[in-house]
Structure 1
Amino acid sequence: MTVRQSEREPEFLQALQDERIRLSLLQNRRMRWAHTLANGATAWLAYQAGAHEAAWTLGLATLLLAHGRAALLQWLHDHGRRAALLQALTWSPAVVSLSQAALLIAVFQQPFSLWQTLITMVMFGNAAGGVAPAAGHLPGYLAWCAPIAGALVLSWLQRGGLESWIFALLILVLFALLIQAVAEQARLQRDMVRLGSDLRRAKEGAERASEAKTRFFAAASHDLRQPLAALTYQIATVQALAGVHKDERLAQTAAGLRRSLQDSRSLLDSLLEVSQLEAGAVAAHPEPVDLHALLQHQHELLAPLARERGLLWELQLPPGPARWAHTDPALLRRVLSNLLSNAIKFTPQGWVRLALIDHEGLAQIVVQDSGPGIPADLQERVFEEFFQVGNAARDRTQGLGLGLAIVRRLVKLLDLELQLESQPAQGCRFSLSLALQAAPPAAAAAAPPLGRHRLLVVDDEVPIRDALAQWLGLLGWSVRTAADCPEALAQLSPLWQPDALVLDLRLRAGATGLDVLNALRASGCQAPAWLVTGETDPEPLRQAREAGMTVLHKPVDGLELAGQISERLRQPLQNSRT
């Protein structure tokens, strides 16, 4: 598209007019009192030159017209009279300048004096000061300066003599330069508006590409997670059978499959998390957080991995009572998990330390290691997606390079500051600072629910629900399955009511797990519910959480799911026999 074609577009023309209106109103407000002083000086010089009556009448008229014009422009703008405002910007300057031109003619009717030279200089200065309020609107500036320039030139020419002719010529040249300045201002303004229009289009294109990428990740994530979901339950079944038959080879095979599946799930989760954060689908939900308990949990969770790597695994907590902060515990755990996993993964030998430092009302969480460190010129780049120091061969065991990219987005979402200190061969030190708060009142402990482990699984994918039923059946659970809402309701009876529900989001005929949950609730079933899905659309997931459901993304580890349900029901796995 050529420049001329783009400048003929209605969108461009409207943007250009809007910019000129904005600048004109802004500069008129800024220059109003400067022009008032200039007009007052002109009237005073006219009086000194002998044009007493004209100085009073025309000077006052100029003042009133100038302020009236400014008030009219603002009124038209405030009331949305855009077309009338554009007309007023073009022709209203002429009304003010005609009264000034009349005053100049009255002054030059007096005997020649120095006052006429002074008033010429003031009027030219006023014309130069009018360049800014013109805001590149050349017709409006010409309507204002033409009467004044004409009056000055004709008045000096009528004096006769070479000096007067030279003065008149200089006035014409100077006004021509001012008009050229306004024309150049108009050209620059067109360029700026055109650039803004191009940037806006580029931004919209980038946003559309980002939305398309997010939709692609969501669709790919959902479709990839479906077969993996069934596979994870089948692997758990194989592990359980290996334990029953004491088959060491089968147990090793199942463990290898489980590790591979966990790697695939980790990669999928990282890609999904980046796309969700970019799309603004993740929101922080701050609440009082026991930092001691949170760090202790993270330390215990990753201790086996640190021991496997042969690292000294340290946790340092300040003495005394637990420290509390107000933040989102799930997002903070994700930040620490990524930082600690990276520290363990990239520290070949030595130690990794997780510490909490209490200093003057602030809690500083520190993740430090004795690893190879990060050069200063790469410390900003390590937070970019898919960038890894020293992994040019893209070793899959070192991940995708998304961990710190996710950390940066989560830290921004939590409104925290992350600091990195590192030197080559001296390890890394990441630190987060949180404001401390008083511990919340202790809540009374809830009594553990009673009942048997009876589970209702609703999923329209036959392999998934069969694999989950087979796995949990080996644990002795009573599992019933359904493909949709009518089948789920048909499973209920006075003799069999589920203790827990596992629901898929997308079901056949456009139904959802939320629909099934509402129907089960209406029938009297109040069992806790898990939504296990490959869906990434934030709206149904938000609705599920608001309905009190625990949301898990496929593929879900079978052991993890069984553990969560057992913990919720407060019954150990080994006693869950029907």
Structure 2
Amino acid sequence: MRPLIGRAVTAPAEDGALNPAQLEQLQAERLLLLREGVRQVRGPRFLVDLAVAWAAYQAGAGWGAWIYLGVMTLGLWGRSLLLEHGLAAGWAPGRILRQMTTVLAALGLVHAGLFVLVFLQPHSHWHYLLTMVLVGNAAGAVATVAGDVRAYLLWVAIYGGSLGLGWLARGTQEGLIVAGLLVLMFGVLVRHVHGEGRAQVRLVRLADELRSARDRAERASESKTRFFAAASHDLRQPLTALSYHVATVQALASQQKDERLAQVGAGLRRALQDSQALLNSLMEVSQLDAGAVAVQAEDVDLVELLRRCADDYAPQASQQGLAFDCVLPELPPGEPLRVYTDPALLRRILSNLFSNALKFTAQGRICLMLLREGERAALCVQDSGPGIPPELQERVFEEFFQINNSGRNRAQGLGLGLAIVRRLVNLLGLELRLESQPGQGSCFTLWLPLGSSQATHAPAALAGSTTPGGPGHRLLVVDDEVAIRDALAELLMTLGWSVRTASGVTEALSCLSPQWQPEALVLDYRLRDEVTGLDALEALRAQGCEAPAWVITGETTPERVQTLLAAGLPVRHKPVDGLALAHEISATLRGAKAAR
């Protein structure tokens, strides 16, 4: 900051060490403090000026005392109006501070003029009273400079200097003592303002360091997300081709009644499902971060929900040699515990918590409990596992963090289960608590407010299983990966479909003819040369192709997820189960024909 008056006054070294951005932040902070200080002292300052004017009048200043009061009152309100105008007009903080310093210096000159009038009069006890009031006024002025030592030094040099010179002019020992005391008093006040300014500089530096650390953390998180999204996409490509080949093996085994081939196909499918489960966890985190998971709330009977969960979880616990209990409250007949939430997401939370307990409980038991406490219900998943130290209980909800898995045992997953749980809990607006001690197991408690909606929502009926269509179904596959499109084509042709493939928009358009029009489209999202499957679909639609389309993608970044959801098309994430995709397409085509 470069003041207009008093440029020779030495500033604290800390100001000079600040970079331009930090200096601007310091000035902005001082401006806010100054605004608050000026607003708070307007009334008290007027009373102080009134007391000074009265004491000066009694000391013999005459009409000059009342002129002083009028000028100081105008200056006090003028300073406040200048500050508010500068803020409203969007002036730079440095400019406003310089303007305020100029006004403060002018008010100091007004005080100096009053001192001349007073000390020209014969010495009296009014001089002592006036000096006491003026020193108190100087102490009160500390609040109106907000740590700006330059402004305060300039004002003190005029205000305190003229007051001290007035006493020195007496030429007496008494005047010398008073002047010395004034110097000490003003020195203490300047030191206080200087310390306040240093504290502000340290706070600005600390805030800047915290912002920089936050920005670095956000960039690191974004970089990690991009890395895993890219890695996920690249891993899904060969897995997708492999999944189509596995589906072909299974289809051939079924057609040829070959049990050995069926066993090989089943083993390959299980390995693929394990890989897909790990990749889907990454995908779920990306979808939640992108805000792409919609809450579909309905009335949920918690007792019935936990009974179904217990039926699913009990065999898993038994297979691992663990005891499993499901504790439900005793309720009067016809009085269920209902909440209004998304049952699928709630089951996903419980499933992740149970899977987490299953992974880390070597022996003992797992208990699923439902408790009621007033107008809230608590769903608890308790285990007899190794427990979690208090200092790590917050970290277990971080992505990829696992306790006692330095060897990255794949059986213990990627460390995403609890990270997904926290995101789902936040999405549903619920409360999750963790209670655990080393060697005493863990208990995750999910709290839900009881209550139901005014209108219930019937769950959608699940589509029945269908078999892929026979000869006559025509499918166009657009994918720039040769291995993937050839593998899918081989699978569907094995099932009796008529399939044509293309690597991009131009080839896709060349596949169309009056004799062959596709009944369905399977489009890879990311094609070559920054072209997408949505671009290919737009080109096909322009040529009159109205066949339903499925988009296949390995993209997991939040931006891509939102783009695909906005398109309103069925989206399947790689690796895709080829037989399941064929079932889905066939069912859609049969449904469309039946509707006609």
TM-score range, shorter chain: 0.7 to 0.9
Secondary structure at the aligned position of 1:391 is classed as coil
Give the counterpart of 1:281 among 285, 290, 313: 290
Instruction: Verify the 8 A CA contact 2:286 2:558 in the aligned structure 1.
Output: no
1:30 corresponds in structure 2 to 40
Larger displacement relative to structure 2 (246-255 or 34-43): 246-255
1:432 corresponds in structure 2 to 446
Give the counterpart of 1:514 among 534, 540, 559: 534
- Distance in 2 of aligned mates of 1:120 and 1:515: 83
2:98 corresponds in structure 1 to 87
Question: What is the deviation of 1:105?
Answer: 3.1
1:155 corresponds in structure 2 to 166
TM value normalised by structure 2: 0.82
Residue type matched to 1:398 in 2? Answer: Q
- Distance in 1 of aligned mates of 2:366 and 2:589: 36
Secondary structure at the aligned position of 1:177 is classed as helix
Residue type matched to 1:124 in 2? Answer: V
Larger displacement relative to structure 2 (223-232 or 419-428): 419-428
1:138 corresponds in structure 2 to 149
1:467 corresponds in structure 2 to 487
- Distance in 1 of aligned mates of 2:111 and 2:309: 80
- Distance in 2 of aligned mates of 1:276 and 1:448: 25
Instruction: Verify the 8 A CA contact 1:541 1:551 in the aligned structure 2.
Output: no
Deviations 1:384-432 (A, max 9, x none): 3443344344322112222212322332343321112345666443232
1:530 corresponds in structure 2 to 550
Deviations 1:138-185 (A, max 9, x none): 232123222221222122123332122101111012112222332333
Change (3 A) 1:190 1:65: same
1:219 corresponds in structure 2 to 230
Task: Please give the root-mean-square deviation of Cα atoms over the aligned residues, in Å.
Answer: 3.8
Matches within 5 A, 1:263-342: 263-274=274-285, 280-292=289-301, 305-306=316-317, 308-309=319-320, 320=334, 327=341, 331-342=345-356
TM value normalised by structure 1: 0.84
Find out whether 1:396 has 2:406 as its counterpart.
no
Give the counterpart of 1:207 among 201, 215, 218: 218
Question: What is the deviation of 1:330?
Answer: 5.9
Matches within 5 A, 1:421-570: 421-422=435-436, 427-435=441-449, 436-438=451-453, 440=455, 454=473, 455-489=475-509, 491=511, 500-521=520-541, 528-562=548-582, 564-565=584-585
Matches within 5 A, 1:371-386: 371-376=385-390, 378-386=392-400
Secondary structure at the aligned position of 2:144 is classed as helix
- Distance in 2 of aligned mates of 1:313 and 1:486: 59
Secondary structure at the aligned position of 2:194 is classed as helix
- Distance in 2 of aligned mates of 1:177 and 1:535: 65
2:5 corresponds in structure 1 to none
Question: What is the deviation of 1:356?
Answer: 5.5
2:272 corresponds in structure 1 to 261
Find out whether 1:46 has 2:61 as its counterpart.
no
- Distance in 1 of aligned mates of 2:14 and 2:98: 24
Secondary structure at the aligned position of 1:555 is classed as coil
Deviations 1:326-352 (A, max 9, x none): 556665454333222223333445654
Matches within 5 A, 1:163-202: 163-202=174-213
Residue type matched to 1:194 in 2? Answer: R
Secondary structure at the aligned position of 2:297 is classed as strand
Give the counterpart of 2:112 among 98, 101, 122: 101
Higher relative contact order (CA 8 A, sep 6+): 2
Secondary structure at the aligned position of 2:290 is classed as coil
Change (3 A) 1:568 1:300: farther
Change (3 A) 1:193 1:382: closer
Change (3 A) 1:387 1:221: closer
2:9 corresponds in structure 1 to none
Larger displacement relative to structure 2 (481-490 or 120-129): 481-490
- Distance in 1 of aligned mates of 2:183 and 2:478: 87
- Distance in 2 of aligned mates of 1:169 and 1:126: 18
1:18 corresponds in structure 2 to 28
- Distance in 1 of aligned mates of 2:238 and 2:267: 18
Instruction: Verify the 8 A CA contact 1:532 1:554 in the aligned structure 2.
Output: yes
1:59 corresponds in structure 2 to 69
- Distance in 1 of aligned mates of 2:477 and 2:493: 12
Residue type matched to 2:276 in 1? Answer: R
Question: What is the deviation of 1:448?
Answer: 8.4
Change (3 A) 1:328 1:442: closer
Give the counterpart of 2:425 among 408, 411, 431: 411
Find out whether 1:77 has 2:87 as its counterpart.
yes
Secondary structure at the aligned position of 1:438 is classed as coil
- Distance in 2 of aligned mates of 1:545 and 1:329: 22
Change (3 A) 1:313 1:541: same
- Distance in 1 of aligned mates of 2:282 and 2:447: 27
- Distance in 2 of aligned mates of 1:561 and 1:367: 35
Secondary structure at the aligned position of 2:42 is classed as helix
Change (3 A) 1:442 1:186: closer
Instruction: Verify the 8 A CA contact 1:352 1:368 in the aligned structure 2.
Output: yes
Change (3 A) 1:251 1:307: farther
1:114 corresponds in structure 2 to 125
- Distance in 1 of aligned mates of 2:15 and 2:147: 21
Find out whether 1:233 has 2:241 as its counterpart.
no
1:574 corresponds in structure 2 to none
Change (3 A) 1:201 1:167: same
Question: What is the deviation of 1:95?
Answer: 1.5
Deviations 1:497-531 (A, max 9, x none): 65654321111333212223334455565555432
Change (3 A) 1:568 1:33: farther
Deviations 1:463-488 (A, max 9, x none): 11222233344445554433333444
Give the counterpart of 2:401 among 383, 387, 406: 387
Change (3 A) 1:379 1:569: farther
Change (3 A) 1:343 1:239: farther
Change (3 A) 1:313 1:500: farther
Question: What is the deviation of 1:283?
Answer: 4.3
Instruction: Verify the 8 A CA contact 1:131 1:178 in the aligned structure 2.
Output: yes
Instruction: Verify the 8 A CA contact 1:6 1:12 in the aligned structure 2.
Output: no
2:3 corresponds in structure 1 to none
- Distance in 2 of aligned mates of 1:77 and 1:307: 70
Change (3 A) 1:15 1:79: same
- Structure 2: give runs of 5+ residues left out of the alignment: 1-12, 592-596
Residue type matched to 1:547 in 2? Answer: A
Change (3 A) 1:320 1:524: farther
Across the two proteins, how many residue pairs are aligned to each other? 567
